[in-house]
Chains A and B, each alone.
Chain A
Amino acid sequence: MKNRQEPGGGSSGRPRWVRGMTTFGIVTVLGLSLGMAGCDVTNPGPVQDEFLDDETTHTGLVRGAERSLLIGAMRIFFASATVTREVFPGGDTNSHSPRIQAGALPSNEMDEYWDDTQQARFIAEDALRRFNKEGVTASNVNRAQAMLWAGYASKLLGENFCQIVIDGGSAEDRDVALQRAENHFTDAIAAAANAQQLQAAYAGRAQTRIERGDWAGALQDAAQVYTDFVYGIEADPAFVETRNFIAFANLNENYRQYTYHYTYFYDDLGSGFGTGYYTATGDERVTYTTDPDFPVANASLPGFGNVPWSFDPDFGLSDPVILSSGSEMRLYEAEAILLNDPGSYQDAMDLINEVRASYVSDFDEMPLLPLTAASAAEAGTHLKNERLIDGHLKGRRFLDLRRWGGIPGVGNAARDNTPGDYYWPDWGQLTDIFDAEPTATCFPIPDSERDINPNVS
């Protein structure tokens, strides 16, 4: 040991660079270790929360609410259409489980329906909170638009869920969400920066008031909306989440998840299903066709087998999801006549035919022919069918069935005693799964919210 040269002593021929390299290595690693312990690495991609107070991001924030609302609305409209047989399930489980296809809305399968719509409400209301912060400047257009999305998202929750929870609170009557929606629409009416925002706010508030049973207030708002007004969110076909996945499910190339067979619109098959409405009218709102190369949908419906396949060839992935329209306002006005003054049913028919005249037939590109009625009941049946046709895949059928006395067999009482009948054949004739459990009338609060939120028992 004693004879050994000290480091760098030269007996081993070790030059200075060796010492230098070793020292450098030690210093480097220790330095890196000490330096990195607690270091701050900035990664690209996600946007930090505080950045969203900046006005340059406000449009993006409002569009975030719009995007989530689009997704939430598509989910709810599609599932409720399946449950209410606006469309007939093809057996594929990609979008809906067998239970939902059968007509149930199980609470353990409701997460996505609840989450996206709650998120839309949250983003819009969070935007409004930011816009109201001291020192933050927000444009009128963004402010009013955030109010509109907050209104429509709250309305979607209130119209469809059996109960509602806001911001981690307790489970409350769904009217709480509808009240919030009405307030947001009222604010939007005051803040609207253009005619479209104003019409959208009136239309949304009218829908909300109908659901709350305030017919008088609803009719006042409806009167402000032009018949040809349509308000919706354009789907973005570029992305899986934001493409119109109701259309995707009906494409004649992928999953073929639902069909028009057995629905009101389809030709009578000789078995008591379908009315031949489309064959008779060519109504562009409920177009369908068949493909001899693909006679059946992709999957097999339990207890039924392969389901005959029909689809809407014009339904595209970028098609908008419609939230409100002037035609719906006219139908509300017609229904109000039938409810309050059945003897004036011809006035109601005029309004129904005004709506129909604004659409054309696929067969001759001419406006749809007017309907006639000889009684209030007949007019009411036309109205109820027209609500089904005009509200097709717009999330209206669920509400209407509840208002008119519910789905046969479920047994809820009618709130609006609108005369006339609506289409609801005995679906259980087709497969036992339709009778396996009661058909749902609203979406339950999902189990996940109940599990996570201590305020919800």
Chain B
Amino acid sequence: MLAIASSEPCQPGQPPGGRRAHIRSFGLLCGALLSLLVLPAAATAQTGQIAGVVTNAVSGAPISQVQIYIAESSLGTLTRADGRFLLLNVPAGTHDVVAEQIGMGSQTQQVTVADGQTVTVNFQLESQALGLDEIVVTGTAGASRRREIGNTISQINVEDIPNRPTDVNDMLRSSAPGLEIGATGGEFGQAPAIRLRGNSSLAMSNNPIVYIDGVRVRSEPNAFVAGVDNRGIRGSVVQTSPLSGLNPGDIERIEVIKGSAATTLYGTEASAGVIQIFTKSGSRGSPVWTFETQQGAVWSRKFGPSVDDTGPECARTGVCNFEYMRLDPYLKTGYNANYALSVRGGAESLQYFVSGLWSDEEGFMPNEYGDKRSIRGNFTFSPFEDLQIQWNTAYLSQWQQNVSQSNAQGLTHNVYRGMANYFGDDTFETIEAGVLAFDIQMWVDRFTTGGVFTYSPLANLTNRFTIGYDWVQQDARNLRPFGFPSRPRGALLNHHWQNTLLTFDYVGTYSFDVAENIRSSFSWGGQAIGDETAQVEAWGEDFPGAAEPTVNSAGFTLGFEERQKVWTAGFFAQNIFDFSDKYFLTLGARVDGNSAFGEGFGLQVYPKASFSWVTSDEDFWPESLGTLRLRAAYGQSGRAPGAFDAVRTWDAAPFANQPAFVPRNLGNPDLGPEVTTEIEGGFDASWFDGRVEAVVTYFTAKTTDALFQVRQAASEGFGGSQLRNVGELKNSGLELQLSGSPIQQQDWGLDFGVNLSTISSEVLSIGGAPEFELGGNGWVIEGEPAPVIRGRYVTNPDAIADPEVDPDHIYGPNYPTLTVTPSLSLRVPGNITLSAVGEYKGGSYVTVTNTSSGGVSRGAMMPICWPYYENPGVTTALRDDTPALWRARCDATEVNSDFYTFPIDFFRLRTVAASIPVDFLMPERVSNATLTLSLNESYTWTKDFPELDPEMSSNTGGEDTVHSISNRVPMPISFRASLRIQF
């Protein structure tokens, strides 16, 4: 409640009724939700009970959260923390009782219940070896068993994540080899970069596309509030993530396919991979309510150089070390709370899952507050025997406030530079007036709805039709009030942006026997995705006085509008040949058109083929060698150019109240998608009764017709750059997922895991174009990684001499070449689980573009140079014995951001968590109660990173192809206590 109270006063710029209206509508929705869910359990005259316990077949340990239900009835429940369950009001008679859980498969036992009696039935579930018979749906037409598919699919079961993340991005972090949750800022609500198997494009987005329950949703970060005329860039620099709004409690599992060998059927948008999120659906049985609350705190990690100061700055400001880069007086502990309630249940003909979430959050910097409310209703019903409809709907309303950041009126720019800031004054009062008075708020609303109609008129014929709608709206309001020092008459930016995605998708599958032991499963279908973005911006400056302003009250106003729409459509066919349920051959292709292709381009064809061999099902395979599947896959997918890239266009730029035409885009009528062709191969194996499992994959991907922004010689007049299909890139790597359970006893258990991935990239050709920079010192050079960090380099770093500089030194790749994620989980008596997950990344380089180098060039005394100043805190003159590298970094006449290029080699302890069953503290009606405590992103080791943090990002964070670092703050350390109760 503390956090709630603290956030209330911080919304001076909110439109009338804004937040209250949200709360009111949320209350109404909650009321409606609750009234929907009062579904009384059936009462019957002659009933009995079924009781039992579910345990792990190997260790004997109880298993909680197992779904127990009676087939073809509405009765069901979940096991408690001690594995026990009780089904009440079971009609007398014979029933099939089913126990099932993701990763453990299902078991059915038949029992006969007599009136008034309790029947005991126990289950012993085994973890499925490699999950070969698990059904997966991402990347394959229709649903397939994992054994049938020749490529890897990573599946993340939310229940397996030890620290109960409050953000989907955190769920994905460290979860699968080849999946990188990359650079981000520590600012409240900042979207991170998501990459699957590195960068497949150097001009277009590398964000994977995202589906939720079959409906395509926005995956790019929401709009950066920069404004058409760059008027808004002096804001928070925070770009919100569309995934952050999802309620983690709604999610059951996530499937990730990483390369073009797997994503062919998604066509033109899919070369960066596909993430599909599956939310919980209803289940048969009495309503099961789940309440979860999380209380936590975030605080800043130390990110400055370990330098103490005893000079005049210490005396003046009281900041006597630079562990927080002078930011100490502005940092706070941010308190967070969220509350989620859900219910799932239903009968055979209708199942439901309904949930609501409310959260109240704070960041660790001043002015950082936010809240979030979401509601979801997932309904499954079968109006007819052969028709099933799954209709899921979610609504999110989110508000956040941020501090002005990384600009002349931003906190870090002015604090990091001390007295040489934009005010020539580093006192708290000056910063408060000149920065913290800048009021930056953002509202995000999102509505996603979609239905999957599955019509199976024959046992071997399935038609699946999906229709979906995803709408995101972001309103940003950046107010510099009247009297703001650097804008004395005030200024206001209103930025309204929305994105709509429409999904139409049809898949038909017909299975038939071709011959004895040969079965064919033929799928065909089509997909159309409409992507429409609109943004309108209003700007006002020069207010009449200190009254609360709107744009209308400004003396000078401007308006901007941008709209664009892109349609991608394609059709595909695929056939899976099944030989004896051991050999599986898949052949398929997708044909795509796209409204952004050039007029002369036409259609794009993406073929695929894969093979899977369950070797251990062969007669010759000795059982002692465990389970083995060999697989290989080949496939293509693409990435389309932008809406206007193919056409020669001019901008009608406003100039003195009249349009003025200036060149915009040279145009390229032959422009098409870049096409990534990937081959992957590997094996899945398990040994020792499934106690050790390994999934090993090698992939090599080549992007041809790669889209490069080819710069035009300015002397030719049109200037700028033009997308051309001229490049060739290559990515290859090895992925290893190893897990083991060396101790599996009833009271004790020990699990370990290691995810390892390598990436090696190379620019094979730049098509005759000159080498070019993508920003942040990331260059595209033939024969080098894509991108490679190139820049000035001091060749005599330790010499007590002037720096000797190589102007074009190749530092190395920008994308981490090695990522290792170890995890450990220990179960102790009481079913208490202690877990730890860490992550190492290395082999790459990043340039800090504007922190110390920017400060030094402006004559600021930067903490990193403190040991080399002749008279620290007084003058920037360097000592005579300063080594050449530090002369280059700290001398204003030598300094360049290139000299602040550092290796990214670090290890971070992602989480340490304890999961403690606390059923014993709860009333009898509570079936499960678990307390989870976690400390997140706490310890960090770096090889040579003297200031800031290797996971920080530039101002534009998740959108960048090149990882660079600017004047921001690193992600915070957090502590969370989560209590989840089921009844």
Asked if B603 contacts A38 (CB within 8 A), the reply is yes
In the complex, whether B799 has a CB less than 8 A from a CB of chain A is no
> Who on chain B is nearest to A451 by CB?
B770
Complex CA–CA separation, A302 to B890 (angstroms) = 11
The answer on a CB contact under 8 Å between A126 and B717 is yes
CB distance from A18 to the nearest CB of B (A): 6
Q: What's the tally of chain B residues with a CB closer than 8 Å to chain A?
A: 97
Please, how many angstroms separate the alpha-carbon atoms of A242 and B796 in the complex? Answer: 45
Q: Quick one: CB contact mask for B719-731 with A, threshold 8 Å, 1 for yes?
A: 1000000000000
Contact of A37 (CB < 8 Å), options: B408, B591, B667, B876: B591
CB distance from B723 to the nearest CB of A (A): 14
- Given A93-B858, A122-B663, A304-B859, 7 additional A-B pairs, CB 8 A: A1-B458, A29-B465, A63-B656, A93-B857, A118-B715, A240-B229, A446-B714
Contacts of B663 in A (CB 8 A): 119, 122-123
A284 at the interface (CB under 8 A from B): no
Within 8 A of A (CB), among B631-659: 643-644, 647-656, 658-659
Q: A14-B386, A67-B655, A453-B715 are in contact. Are A39 and B593 (CB under 8 A)?
A: yes
A61 at the interface (CB under 8 A from B): yes
Q: Which residues of B contact A272 (CB under 8 A)?
A: none
Judge whether A364 is part of the interface by a CB distance below 8 angstroms.
no
A179 within 8 A of B: no
Q: Would you call A26 and B463 a contact (CB within 8 A)?
A: yes
Looking at the complex, which one of A36, A52, A98, A168 makes contact with B661 (CB distance below 8 Å)?
A52
Shortest B459–chain A CB gap in Å is 6
Is B455 at the interface (CB under 8 A from chain A)?
yes
Distance between Cα atoms of A94 and B409 in the complex (Å): 13
> B458 near A115 (CB under 8 angstroms)?
no
Residues on A with beta carbons closer than 8 Å to the beta carbon of B876: 302-303
Interface residue from A43, A49, A114, A302 paired with B858 (Cβ < 8 Å):
A302
Q: Which residues of A contact B595 (CB under 8 A)?
A: 36, 39-41
- A238 near B558: Cβ-Cβ < 8 Å: yes
Q: Which of A40-81 contact B (CB under 8 A)?
A: 40-41, 43-49, 52, 57, 59-61, 63-64, 66-68
| Interface presence of B583 (CB below 8 A) | no
Interface residue B424 (Cβ < 8 Å from any Cβ of A): yes
A8-46 at interface with B (beta carbon < 8 Å): 12-14, 18, 21-22, 25-26, 28-30, 32-41, 43-46
- Are A25 and B893 in contact, CB atoms less than 8 angstroms apart? no
Q: A436-B893, A452-B712 are in contact. Are A240 and B656 (CB under 8 A)?
A: no
Q: Which residue of chain A has its CB nearest to the CB of B859? A: A300
Tell me which of A40, A60, A115 contacts B652 (CB under 8 A). Answer: A60
Nearest CB of B to A218, in Å:
27
CB of B453 within 8 A of CB of A298, answer no
Q: Which one of B488, B654, B664, B715 has the highest number of Cβ atoms from chain A below 10 Å of its Cβ?
A: B715
CA distance A298 to B430 in the complex (A): 13
Instruction: Name B688-713 residues within 8 Å CB distance of A.
Output: 711-713
**Contact status B718-A22, CB under 8 Å:** no
A11 to chain B, nearest CB (A): 8
B526 interface neighbour in A14, A30, A40, Cβ under 8 Å: A30
Bound form: Cα–Cα A30–B463 in Å: 13
CB contact list, A94-133 vs B, under 8 A: 94, 97-98, 102, 111, 114-115, 118-119, 121-123, 125-126
The contact string, 1 if C-beta is below 8 Å from chain A, for chain B 551-574, is: 000001010001111111111000
Contact A118 B717 (CB under 8 A): yes
A105 to chain B, nearest CB (A): 16
CB of A340 within 8 A of chain B? Answer: no
Residue on B with the closest CB to A433? Answer: B893
Residues of B within 8 A of A25 (CB): 453, 463, 465, 467, 506
Confirm or deny: A234 has a beta carbon within 8 angstroms of a beta carbon on chain B: yes
The answer to whether the Cβ of A268 comes within 8 Å of any Cβ in the partner chain is no
Taking a contact as CB atoms under 8 Å apart, the answer to whether A63 and B658 are in contact is: yes
Q: With an 8 A cutoff between CB atoms, is A166 at the interface?
A: yes
| A323: min CB distance to chain B, Å | 16
A91 interfacial by beta-carbon distance below 8 Å: yes
CA distance A91 to B854 in the complex (A): 11
Taking a contact as CB atoms under 8 Å apart, the answer to whether A123 and B662 are in contact is yes
| B459 and chain A: residue at smallest CB distance | A1
The residue that B422 contacts in the complex, of A48, A57, A166, A255, with Cβ under 8 A, is A255
Residues of A within 8 Å of B564, CB to CB, are 43, 45
Nearest-CB distance from B501 to chain A (Å)? 14
- A165 near B715 with CB under 8 A, answer yes
Asked if B401 lies at the interface with its beta carbon under 8 angstroms from chain A, I say no
Selected contact of A38 from candidates B563, B593, B644, CB within 8 Å: B593
B715 touches A49 (CB 8 A): no
Closest to B662 in A: A64
List which B385-427 residues lie within 8 A (CB) of chain A. 385-387, 408, 419-420, 422-424
Question: Closest residue of chain B to A302, judged by CB?
Answer: B892
CB proximity of A16 to chain B, nearest CB, Å = 12
A144: shortest Cβ distance to chain B, in Å?
Answer: 18
Shortest beta-carbon distance, B132 to chain A, in Å? Answer: 27
Smallest CB-CB separation from B593: which chain A residue? A37
> Are B719 and A29 in contact, with the CB atoms below 8 A?
no
Residue contacts A-B, CB under 8 angstroms, 30 given: A12-B386, A13-B384, A14-B386, A25-B453, A29-B505, A30-B525, A34-B569, A36-B528, A38-B593, A38-B597, A38-B603, A43-B564, A43-B643, A43-B644, A45-B644, A48-B649, A63-B659, A66-B660, A93-B858, A94-B408, A118-B714, A119-B663, A119-B719, A122-B716, A123-B717, A168-B716, A254-B487, A255-B422, A306-B859, A448-B711
B94 at the interface (CB under 8 A from A): no
CB-CB under 8 A from B486, the residues of chain A are: 253-254
Is B715 a contact of A6 with CB atoms below 8 Å?
A: no
Q: Is A134 an interface residue (CB 8 A)?
A: no
Q: Select from chain A the residue with minimum beta-carbon distance to B457.
A: A7
Instruction: Give a binary string over A205-249; 1 marks a CB under 8 Å from any B CB, 0 the rest.
Output: 000000000000000000000000000001010111110000000
Q: Which residues of A contact B857 (CB under 8 A)?
A: 93, 97-98, 302
- B718–A255 touching, CB < 8 Å: no
Chain A residue at smallest Cβ distance from B563: A44
| Chain A residue at minimal CB-CB distance from B485 | A253
The 7 nearest A-B residue pairs measured at CB: A122-B717, A302-B892, A37-B593, A300-B859, A36-B569, A33-B526, A46-B649
Tell me, rounded to whole Å, the shortest Cβ–Cβ distance linking B403 to chain A: 20
Does B508 sit at the interface, judged by CB under 8 A?
Answer: yes
Residues in A with CB closer than 8 Å to B651 are 46-47
Closest-CB distance, A148 to chain B (whole angstroms): 15
Closest B residue by C-beta to A30: B526
CB nearest to B464 among chain A residues: A25
B647 touches A48 (CB 8 A): yes
Residue of B525, B654, B660, B664 ringed by the most chain A CB atoms within 10 A:
B660
Q: Are A305's CB and B660's CB within 8 A?
A: no
A236 to chain B, nearest CB (A): 5
Between A6, A7, A432, the greatest number of chain B beta carbons within 10 A of the residue's beta carbon is seen for A7
Question: Of all chain B residues, which has the CB nearest A234?
Answer: B656
Cβ-based interface call for B449 (8 A): no
Q: How far is the CB of B573 from chain A (nearest CB, A)?
A: 12
The reply to whether B408 and A254 contact each other, CB–CB distance below 8 Å, is yes
A169 at the interface (CB under 8 A from B): yes
Assess the A123–B661 pair: CB atoms within 8 A: yes
User: In angstroms, how far is the closest chain B Cβ from the Cβ of A89?
Assistant: 11
A434 to chain B, nearest CB (A): 10
List, in ascending order, chain B residues with CB within 8 A of A291's CB: none
Give the chain B neighbours of A45 by CB distance below 8 A.
562-564, 644
Contact digits for A391-434, partner B, Cβ 8 Å, 1 yes 0 no = 00000000000000000000000000000000000000000110
Tell me the complex Cα distance, A45–B643, Å: 11
Q: Quick one: closest B residue to A111, CB to CB?
A: B714
Q: How far is the CA of A344 from the CA of B235 in the complex (A)?
A: 62
Q: Which of B383, B419, B650 contacts A46 (CB 8 A)?
A: B650
With a cutoff of 8 Å between Cβ atoms, the chain B residues found around residue A448 in the complex are 711, 714
CB of B602 within 8 Å of the partner chain: yes
Q: Which of A37, A49, A294, A303 has the most CB of B within 10 A?
A: A37
Residues of A with C-beta under 8 A to B860: 300
Flag if A6 contacts B457 (CB, 8 Å): yes
